[in-house]
Amino acid sequence: MKNQQTEYWRANLRLILALLVIWFTVPFLGGIVFVEFFNQFRLGGYKLGFWIAQQGAIYLFVVLIFVYAHQMNKLDAKYSGEQD
């Protein structure tokens, strides 16, 4: 029982860490590091680098919330099935 809880918690932390890395990396690279490259393109009348930094990070965060919820449902089903 204790081992399953530890595995569940580690899987949860790995998921959280992966999503946080994505949430940091995409706006950082798209809105800061490669902003000049992305600013060649436009999205909704705005330069893409600016859009990624301002709106893209927010949209990405919302998408990551849904990804987290979906992945946690799968993780819950996996570990609750082992307990039965």
What are 58-77's pLDDT values in tens digits? 999 999 999 999 999 999 99
**Overall pTM surpassing 0.95 (yes/no):** no
Cα–Cα distance, 38 to 79 (Å, whole number): 42
pLDDT in tens, 23-38: 999 999 998 999 999 9
Q: CA torsion 54→57→61→62, rounded to 10°?
A: 50
What is the rounded average pLDDT of the residues 50-64? 93
Q: Which two tokens stand for residue 1?
A: 């029982």
